[in-house]
Amino acid sequence: MRSLGHQIVADFYHCDSSTLSDVDIVTDAMLEAARRAGCTIVTQTFHHFSPYGVSGAVIVAESHLAIHTWPEYGYAAVDVFTCGDIIQPEDALNYLKEAFGAGQVSTMEMKRGQVEMMGVPAHEVRVKPVSMLSA
């Protein structure tokens, strides 16, 4: 099945609570995860909630990485959505597992934008080129 995107939704359990509550550490980890996956970083935004928790996203030319943390439970919900065949979302998730000290990870993978459902001949479908960044 040919698709426009590949999305992995991951639940990280038994993580280090102090790591998950630090917006700078979470930001740095998400940016490094994007780099390790081979993504082209466009922008990022992260927010620290009071009393604890971080939510944020890294927008990449190939789509996005997003996170929501619950330090009080040692839990983080992570979403890695990539377009094309060059990016390695598994590399991002493996790095985040280490960075957050996750004891257990559960993932669900989805193919997004199934070409045969669009009624467009597969040979005509193109993923977004990095040059679109300047548009």
DSSP conformation class of 34 = H
Instruction: State the catalytic residues.
Output: 63, 68, 83
Instruction: Report the alpha-carbon distance of residue 134 to residue 75 in Å, rounded.
Output: 37
How far, in Å, CA of 17 to CA of 4, rounded? 35
AA identity, residue 41? I
Torsion of CA 103, 108, 109, 111, to 10 degrees: -160
Tokens of 129: 């080129």
Angle of helix 89-100 relative to helix 23-37, nearest 10 degrees, comes to 150
Asked if 9 and 93 count as a contact pair (C-beta separation under 8 A), the reply is no
